[in-house]
Amino acid sequence: MLMTGKEYLGSIRDGRRVYIGGELVEDVPAHPAFRNAAQSFAMIYDRKRDPENRDLMTFEEDGETFSTYFLLPRTREDLQRRFEAHRRIASWTHGLLGRSPDNFPSYVSGLVMDPGMFDSIRQGFGNNIRNYYQHMRGNDIFASHTVTNPQGWRPLSPADNQRHTPPTLRVINEDDSGVTINGLKMLGTASVFCHETWLRQPATSRRWARERIDYLCCAAQCAWREHLVAQAL
């Protein structure tokens, strides 16, 4: 599916709670602090559907149409097509939207090209990343991530990582709809405008430290990008 700009703006009127100081923002796309950026993101959704861009900015698979930034590159031509899609979005925004909707699909597309790596961590994780990629691609999801811990919650030295310290994030509830997380994070670029946000959990949490998925994800994405570029050239 390809979302329109209007559909995108409607999709972030979903009851999210955003505060500026003590003010609760009732309508993110209409608030003076956010409306221009929201319109810029909506413009990207519309322009990639326009006739002059559609052939390059979208691709078809199994009878459905998706955004090109979800294309899994197998050839030099695929890489060039992805490059031009990213270039056009950067040109439309003059490079000022560092977390545009095409940013995070590059991570997920790189990861899904090596599901065996995830199965080597725990059986079934390969299917998880495939399912998430298909979810993002099929719903034209705009995702970002939060990566920075508050200063006072960071370990003071490498030795602190060996001791159990309070995690920045903790799961306080879990049900069929997902998990509820309590904690603090900083530097969530574009999270106000996203449909989904990935949270990087520090290794001080024993629940998450076993897999260290955050580091493996980055390594896999980089390794596959280098492999594909080498193959294409």
Summarised one tens digit per residue, pLDDT across range 147-167 is 777 776 655 555 555 454 555
Domains in the chain, please, with CATH? 5-232 (1.10.3140.10)
**Is 147:198 a contact under the CB 8 Å cutoff?**
no
CA distance 180 to 177: 9
**Is 34:194 a contact under the CB 8 Å cutoff?**
no
**Alpha carbon of residue 1 to chain centroid:** 17
3-state secondary structure of 171: strand
pLDDT at 172: 87
Residues 6+ apart with CB under 8 A from 218: 107
**Using one digit for the tens of pLDDT, what is the confidence trace for 9-31?**
999 999 888 999 889 999 999 99
3-state secondary structure of 204: coil
Measured CA distances, 54 to 89, 129, 134 (Å): 13, 27, 20
Q: Which residues of 116-151 are buried (b: 16+ CB within 10 A; e: fewer)?
A: ebbeeeeeebbeebeebbeebbeebbbbbbbeebee
**Using one digit for the tens of pLDDT, what is the confidence trace for 170-208?**
788 888 877 787 877 778 888 899 999 887 665 444 343
CA distance 131 to 12: 23
